[in-house]
Structure 1
Amino acid sequence: MRLSSATFLFVTCAALTLSGCDDDDPILTPDAGSDAGTGTDAGTTVSTATVTTSSPSGGETDVYPLEMYLDASGQTPVIAFRKVLTLTFSEPMDPSAAQVALHDRTDTTVPARVLTGTWSEDARTLTVTVPRSEESTRPLEVSTRYAVALDALRDATGLALPSNAALEFTTGERDPELEHACTHTLVNTPEAVTAGRTPFDFPPDTQIGHARYDVTLRAGEAGFGGYTGFISDPENAEHVTLYLNQEVPTKVTNDTAGTDVASVLAPARFICAGITHTVTFTSEPGDQIHLFQFGPVASERIQFVLERE
């Protein structure tokens, strides 16, 4: 078993997990609409069902190896790690057959893990949760090629998928800053503020590092929007990141200098439900007042975690 490639310190306790597996025969990923699920196998007719969509997608690289969530099953809720996989098929499947096998193709000494998924009501989408294993603190290893063997699944007529049916993907490296921000979305009580309608409408301060803000925006003709404030460090330039729970057009202005500040709105890798996008910018030193202009968006409320370093 390989050791973890990184160790992270979190502001709260976190439970983690991993796994792997092993098989000498190559496992192929059938493409949606291909004939990989047709034909015969040792004289037995096999299912024509194929995977039409999946998460991660077949052949995807740089897949994040874990997801963070709050596990409330014990007496004290803790942050835990898992990885959720989903596969949607071209036709209804047999809901009584829900086992898949997870194979580690990078370290073939790791034994396969048999996992039982859950079928959707229409028996076309299988959700498989990869938990932590007894040997590791993560569900999946970083920078590792995996294959999820699907040959134990059957379609609604009882025909099994072909022996080479599999979902293959490769994990990437971890992002400690993003994982750290996720801990705040999971355990911090949000600070509720109401955005200013204009820059002169006394925008509330949203400048505390590690804080989670719940912002009520103002209604406008094009949607909801508004302003909040931020004051730069007296002595040092800082790299500032807003970890948003939805895509929000955001403009950053140095109100003291009367200039716009270059910022970047970008999608975030999926690690936790509370973060979908980030806004990043650099603030210059000197106790300078900045304004965040949010919107317009369809939602009246947005949340973000602010990190400054």
Structure 2
Amino acid sequence: MRLSSATFLFVTCAALALTGCDDEAPTVSPDAGTSTDAGPDAGTPSSTATVTTAHPAEGETDVYPLEMYLDASGQTPVIAFRKVLTLTFSEPMDPSASQVTLHDRTDTTVPARVLTGGWSEDGRTLTITVPRTEESTRPLEVSTHYTLALDALRDAAGLALSPTAALDFTTGERDPELEHACTHTLVNTPEAVTAGRTPFDFPPDTNTGHARYDVTLRPVEGGFGGYTGFISDPENAEHVTLYLNQWVPTKVTNDTAGTDVTSVLAPARFICAGITHTVTFASEPGDQLYLFQFGPVASEHVQFVMERG
């Protein structure tokens, strides 16, 4: 079944985001052809160029099937979907040959898609943007094995890659909560706050659900850091997630109880430019004061979207 269970929730959340809510490179070498590969004509040598890095990586699984971005090409900016693939080669390539072919290996009845990429100035990196299809709002389907055929590419000497040159990857399922948070990074104006130097320096509140915060950190040993506050729900325990725009050490403390709180800082699956990591923890009911201690980190600013529930 092609429609994801996340579709209805995402559309609802995207609409809320537009109106306001009230409440990471291994070296990869797919077979890009060698001088011993026999092409259609065994007398014609293939290029010795190889793929040194690729995003997604060769054989990668659980690739997010889409990326969200703000399309401002029309009169009214809208949140749109695409998927960007990149390939870097071991030597300069022919910039006039930039077509690749995307094959659906899970459903072989789906027609292959010919895509045209763009080369970097040095002719070594090809960027391919996969747009949404006419039949779907998504550029790629969930839980699907894809092959990106590269045999139409040529090196700077005009030699084509091997007929078997390809990049294989498999998409995973969608995450409606992550997509919802991404809508806020795309359309919400950040609420600027300045972190407290210490827990006793009146740390600003950063506890509004769906809000996007831009926190100015203070100079500390090793970079920048500081504190912000969070007030728990009066009646209910909650699962809280901070969707961060960068990696930053984050410690959570229940200041009311005087105890440290178990939290998890982890990379996020790439879906939008504004979210790279998440911090998750559980809060206790009763209007208790929690403190977020950020840093030390090299950047003076950190942004995050607050989601609680």
Question: Which stretches in structure 2 are left out of the alignment for 5+ residues?
Answer: 17-27
- RMSD (Å) for aligned C-alpha atoms: 1.6
- Per the alignment, residue 11 of structure 1 pairs with 13
Instruction: Report the AA paired with residue 13 of structure 2.
Output: V
Number of aligned residue pairs: 293
Note the 1:85-104 alignment, pairs <5 A: 85-104=85-104
CA contact (8 A) 1:218 1:225 kept: yes
Correspondences of 1:5-84 after superposition (within 5 Å): 5-6=4-5, 7=7, 8-9=9-10, 10-13=12-15, 32=29, 36-39=33-36, 40-41=38-39, 42-43=41-42, 44-84=44-84
1:149 paired residue number: 149
Aligned to 2:194: 194
The DSSP-based 3-state class of the residue aligned with 1:177 is helix
Asked if 2 retains the 8 angstrom alpha-carbon contact of 1:79 and 1:183, the reply is yes
Task: Indicate if the aligned counterparts of 1:5 and 1:142 stay in contact, CA closer than 8 A.
Answer: yes
**AA partner of residue 171 (structure 2):** T
Which residues of 2 match residues 194-233 of structure 1 at below 5 A?
194-233=194-233
- Does the residue aligned with 1:61 lie in a helix, a strand or coil? strand
Unaligned runs of 5+ residues in structure 1 are 15-30
TM-score (ref. length: structure 1): 0.92
Q: Matches of 1:152 and 1:68 in 2, distance apart?
A: 29
| Cα distance in 2 for residues equivalent to 1:129 and 1:38 | 30
- CA 1:84 to 1:180, structure 2 compared with 1: closer, same or farther past 3 Å? same
Aligned-residue sequence identity (percent) comes to 80
Given that residues 14 and 180 in structure 2 are in contact (C-alpha distance below 8 angstroms), is that contact kept between their aligned partners in structure 1? Answer: no
Change (3 A) 1:77 1:126: same
| Aligned residue number for residue 287 of structure 2 | 287
Q: Quote the Cα distance in structure 2 between the aligned partners of 1:221 and 1:168.
A: 45
Q: CA offsets, 1:206-241, max 9 Å, x none? A: 000000000000001221000000000011000000
Greater share of helix: 2
Question: How far apart, in 2, do the equivalents of 1:36 and 1:114 lie?
Answer: 20
1:71-105 Cα shifts (integer Å, max 9, x gaps): 00000001001000000111110000000000000
SS in 2 for 1:106: coil
SS of corresponding position for 2:13: coil
AA of the residue aligned to 2:163: S
Q: Which amino acid aligns with 1:157?
A: A
After superposition, residues 153-302 of structure 1 pair within 5 angstroms as 153-302=153-302
Instruction: Rate the CA distance shift 1:273–1:35 in 2: closer, same or farther, 3 A.
Output: closer
